[in-house]
């Protein structure tokens, strides 16, 4: 069924056969089955796993799509309690799982301490075992699910982050949070939400709900407590289709009587439509998924447009150095918000000019210049604004003198075509094929209103400041001209995202030359971890509200103007760990922020903390603010706190940290970021410093990308 992937982890795999379980589960709409990999070692040949009765019942594709193999508890326990932290039994199980091509092996949680094994030994051996398995499965199609007995407590996060830190957050390992039924009364909803939100940054792929945690409604059907319903809703909204749900344990609910849920695995006959006996639990999860509050977040145009891009790293565009392609422009132009806001901004600027008497003084002529016009959507937006102005001012109508400046000669072909074919362009729009920094126009053509969209995910990273300063220097605009955008500000915030860190590391093995093939020169680890990436961050948690970095305004006094910058942003202790800041599919939510703040108070500054894997960069731009007759303004923003809802032209920028940093509870993180340039390039350098609650420096990164050695933007 679309929208939710649910698997079954039955308490016993009947007769040791996955094949029956998978077929009944699939018949009910479940997607996979979890069951033990190991059979006892063959009595006749102790070096081998036992023969399996289900081996011939499942095809290779059923193994590789429908089965998650459980590593045995006893093997893990023995490994963790051993003196050397290794286990032949686990190696055999993992190897067999890889041989069968199963998509994942699931490890049980860290075993409970015993008299012979103190917690630290168990944890270190568990981490070693996990690390060794992560490496073993790398390159195969089998991943590792690390189960966590989830409790919304500091200890739980600490344990998991310690294991993953020891393994360097391997891309092959993700978390399966097991909710133990029954104990939820001990914790408040606020604690669940804060801790889950934080845990998601460590890479959660699965949530296991035991059937014993379900209550029974009046008709005997399974239901969840109000609190757990809210928890499940939150995870669904935050994680969408990326989360695998697992129903575990016995069939504990029998609406209509015990017989109605009997499953005869031998004949596969069962009560109508409930082949597995777990159908009612599955239906309940779908019922929550279909609630309007969840549907509103997951089933909208923006979410479906973004689906293929979640956590997918892309190289930032360089529209100045490179010529964009037709399709790239076409994608921009689909944005329903950006061009509308630009059109409104041009209209506001025209109204100001009219109030100030500019257009009358110029005989009704308005010079509008779109610099970096691409295929012309901002020209069209400006023409629309002129039409709206004229419709509203029949007595003071204006005549537009529209210039479109574009350096991409391929896009210019399109602009020229529009000048010939589109009625409102013919005789009104002229095209100048030039870099705006070198273009020349006659005095009478200089712009009253200069319109541009040269913004990157981090505002100035596509070199809007250099281009617009250049246009001003080369005399394209009048001394009293206004610029749309008027200003743009970049923002930065720490990000906890094991997933993005893994994706950045994976770039190390990608060839630097797209045409080079498998033997090409690899990108290398240093470059991979010192490059900012454009990415629709999803499996990550922004830990603090974003803070301002660099601001650029246009037009401006160019005497001694310098576009190099340094910003230091300090992120104070925030025990809400980013709850309500809008990660995943969610938008910033003040209500959730308040929930998180309360938890901070409750935790009383315990031993919490959060792992930071990098920084997320965004921008907010004031397109235009009215100077006369009101305070209206138009903005575009991808900063979470001011996000322009519905706009999907930009995804944030991810600045990785070479090594993830642990930010302890009550501690601060200071981010330093530089914007540096030379004759040919502009680049960013970044570093972080961590202080504990007493103000001691307890962590410091190197300065990333010194002298632009790994990444720069061509001027």
Ligand X SMILES: C[S@@+](CC[C@H](N)C(=O)[O-])C[C@H]1O[C@@H](n2cnc3c(N)ncnc32)[C@H](O)[C@@H]1O
Question: Which positions lie near ligand X, rule CB under 6 A?
Answer: 319-320, 324, 329, 332-333, 372-374, 377-378, 405-408, 411, 435-437, 453-454, 467
Name the DSSP class of 703. P
Place of tokens 């537009």: 400
Place of tokens 């999803």: 538
For ligand X, the closer of residues 620 and 685 by Cβ is: 620
Shortest separation between residue 499's beta carbon and ligand X, angstroms: 28
The answer to whether 313 and 535 are in contact (CB under 8 A) is yes
Helices 279-289 & 226-239 angle (0-180, nearest 10): 70
In sequence order, the 6+-apart residues with CB closer than 8 A to the CB of 638 are: 457, 618, 619, 620, 644, 647, 650, 651, 652
Helices 88-100 & 73-81 angle (0-180, nearest 10): 140
d(CA 460, CA 463): 5
d(CA 50, CA 68): 19
In sequence order, the 6+-apart residues with CB closer than 8 A to the CB of 614 are: 494, 495, 497, 500, 501, 504, 654, 655, 656, 657
For ligand X, the closer of residues 37 and 373 by Cβ is: 373
Q: Please check if 339 is assigned to a binding site.
A: yes
Shortest separation between residue 654's beta carbon and ligand X, angstroms: 20
For ligand X, the closer of residues 206 and 374 by Cβ is: 374
Q: Is the dihedral of CA 381, 386, 391, 392 positive or negative?
A: positive
For ligand X, the closer of residues 319 and 660 by Cβ is: 319
Half-sphere exposure of 682 (CA within 13 A, CB side): 18
Q: Which of 93, 453, 466, 546 is catalytic?
A: 453
Q: Is 331 helix (H, G, I), strand (E, B) or coil?
A: helix
Specify whether 453 is catalytic: yes
Q: Is 170 helix (H, G, I), strand (E, B) or coil?
A: coil
Give which of 618, 622, 610 is closest to 641, Cα–Cα. 618
For ligand X, the closer of residues 236 and 451 by Cβ is: 451
Half-sphere exposure of 379 (CA within 13 A, CB side): 29
Shortest separation between residue 378's beta carbon and ligand X, angstroms: 5
Q: Which of 462, 530, 546, 691 is catalytic?
A: 462
The two tokens of residue 528 are 């991979």
Shortest separation between residue 462's beta carbon and ligand X, angstroms: 6
Shortest separation between residue 453's beta carbon and ligand X, angstroms: 4
Name the DSSP class of 456. B
Q: Please check if 338 is assigned to a binding site.
A: yes
- DSSP H helical segments within 183-332, as ranges? 189-200, 226-239, 279-289, 292-298, 301-306, 326-332
d(CA 428, CA 447): 15
d(CA 124, CA 110): 10
Q: Please check if 406 is assigned to a binding site.
A: yes
d(CA 339, CA 377): 7
CB burial class (10 A; 0-12, 13-18, 19+) of residue 402?
buried
Shortest separation between residue 118's beta carbon and ligand X, angstroms: 58
Q: Is 594 helix (H, G, I), strand (E, B) or coil?
A: helix
Residue 155's alpha-carbon distances to 200, 606, 609, in angstroms, are 16, 10, 10
For ligand X, the closer of residues 322 and 548 by Cβ is: 322
Shortest separation between residue 333's beta carbon and ligand X, angstroms: 6
Q: Please check if 199 is assigned to a binding site.
A: no
Dihedral of CA atoms 447, 453, 456, 458 in degrees, nearest 10, equals: 60
For ligand X, the closer of residues 9 and 329 by Cβ is: 329
Shortest separation between residue 471's beta carbon and ligand X, angstroms: 8
Give which of 183, 239, 177 is closest to 209, Cα–Cα. 177
Q: What angle do CA 190, 194, 199 make, to 5 degrees?
A: 145
The two tokens of residue 513 are 């030359």
For ligand X, the closer of residues 372 and 640 by Cβ is: 372
Place of tokens 């697992």: 246
For ligand X, the closer of residues 282 and 441 by Cβ is: 441
The two tokens of residue 189 are 């909803």
Shortest separation between residue 423's beta carbon and ligand X, angstroms: 21
Q: Please check if 435 is assigned to a binding site.
A: yes
The answer to whether 40 and 50 are in contact (CB under 8 A) is yes
Shortest separation between residue 436's beta carbon and ligand X, angstroms: 4
For ligand X, the closer of residues 142 and 434 by Cβ is: 434
Positions marked active-site: 453, 462
| Binding-site residues | 329, 338-339, 406, 435-436
| Binding-site residues for S-adenosyl-L-methionine | 329, 338-339, 406, 435-436
């Amino acid at each position: 069924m679309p929208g939710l992937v649910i698997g079954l982890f039955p308490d016993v795999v009947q007769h040791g056969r996955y094949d029956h379980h998978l077929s009944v589960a699939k018949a009910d709409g479940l997607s996979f089955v979890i069951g033990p990999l190991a059979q006892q070692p063959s009595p006749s040949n102790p070096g081998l796993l036992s023969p399996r009765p289900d081996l011939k019942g499942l095809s290779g594709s059923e193994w590789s799509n429908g089965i998650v193999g459980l590593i045995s508890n006893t093997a893990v326990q023995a490994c963790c309690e051993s003196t050397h932290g290794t286990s032949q039994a686990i190696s055999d199980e993992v190897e067999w799982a890889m041989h069968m091509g199963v998509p994942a092996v699931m490890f049980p949680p860290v075993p409970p301490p015993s008299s012979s094994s103190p917690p630290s030994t168990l944890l270190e051996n568990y981490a070693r075992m996990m690390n060794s398995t992560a490496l073993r499965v790398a390159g195969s199609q089998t991943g590792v699910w690390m189960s966590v007995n989830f409790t919304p407590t500091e200890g739980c996060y600490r344990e998991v982050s310690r294991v993953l830190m020891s393994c360097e957050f391997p891309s092959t390992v993700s978390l399966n949070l097991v909710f133990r039924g029954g104990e939820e009364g001990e914790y408040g909803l606020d604690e669940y939400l804060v801790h889950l939100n934080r845990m998601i940054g460590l890479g959660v792929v699965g949530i296991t709900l035991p059937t014993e945690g379900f209550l029974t409604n009046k008709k005997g059907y399974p239901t969840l407590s109000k609190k757990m319903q809210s928890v499940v809703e939150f995870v669904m909204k935050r994680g969408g289709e990326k989360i695998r749900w697992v129903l575990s344990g016995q069939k504990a609910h029998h609406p209509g009587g015990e017989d109605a849920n009997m499953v005869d695995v031998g004949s596969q006959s069962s009560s109508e439509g409930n082949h597995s006996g777990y159908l009612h639990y599955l239906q309940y999860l779908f019922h929550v998924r279909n609630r309007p509050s969840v549907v509103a977040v997951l089933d909208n145009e923006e979410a479906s447009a973004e689906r293929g891009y979640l956590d997918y790293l892309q190289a930032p565009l360089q529209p100045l150095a490179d010529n964009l392609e037709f399709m790239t422009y076409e994608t921009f132009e689909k944005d329903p918000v950006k061009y509308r806001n630009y059109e409104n901004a041009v209209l506001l600027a025209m109204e100001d000019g009219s109030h100030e008497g500019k257009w009358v003084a110029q005989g009704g002529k308005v010079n509008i210049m779109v610099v970096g016009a691409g295929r012309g959507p901002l020209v069209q937006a400006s023409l629309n604004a002129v039409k709206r102005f004229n419709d509203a001012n029949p007595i003071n109508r204006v005549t537009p003198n529209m210039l479109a400046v574009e350096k991409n000669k391929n896009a210019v072909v399109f602009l020229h075509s529009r000048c010939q074919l589109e009625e409102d362009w013919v005789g009104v729009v002229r095209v100048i094929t030039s870099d705006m920094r070198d273009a020349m126009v006659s005095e009478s053509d200089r712009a009253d209103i200069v319109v541009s969209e040269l913004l990157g995910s981090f505002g100035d990273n596509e070199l809007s400041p250099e281009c617009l300063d250049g246009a001003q220097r080369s005399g394209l605009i009048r001394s009293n001209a206004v610029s749309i955008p008027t200003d743009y500000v970049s923002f930065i915030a720490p990000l906890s995202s094991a997933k993005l860190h893994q994706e950045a590391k994976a770039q190390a093995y990608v060839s630097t030359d797209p045409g080079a093939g498998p033997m090409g020169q690899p990108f290398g680890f240093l470059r991979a971890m010192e490059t900012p990436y454009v990415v629709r961050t999803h499996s990550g948690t922004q830990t603090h509200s974003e803070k301002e970095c660099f601001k650029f305004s246009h037009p401006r006094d160019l005497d001694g103007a310098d576009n190099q910058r340094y910003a230091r942003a300090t992120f104070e202790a925030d025990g809400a760990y980013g709850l309500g800041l809008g990660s995943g599919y969610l938008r910033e939510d003040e209500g959730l922020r308040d929930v998180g703040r309360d938890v901070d108070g409750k935790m009383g500054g315990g031993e919490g903390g959060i792992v930071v894997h990098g920084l997320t960069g965004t921008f907010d731009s004031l397109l235009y603010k009215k100077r006369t007759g009101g305070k209206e303004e138009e903005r575009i923003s991808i900063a979470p706190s001011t996000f322009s809802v519905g706009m999907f032209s930009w995804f944030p920028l991810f600045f990785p940290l070479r090594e993830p940093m642990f930010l302890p509870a009550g501690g601060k993180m200071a981010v330093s970021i530089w914007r540096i340039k030379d004759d040919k390039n502009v680049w960013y350098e970044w570093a972080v410093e961590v202080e504990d609650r007493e103000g001691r420096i307890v962590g410091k990164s190197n300065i990333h990308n010194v002298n632009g050695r790994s990444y720069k933007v061509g001027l």
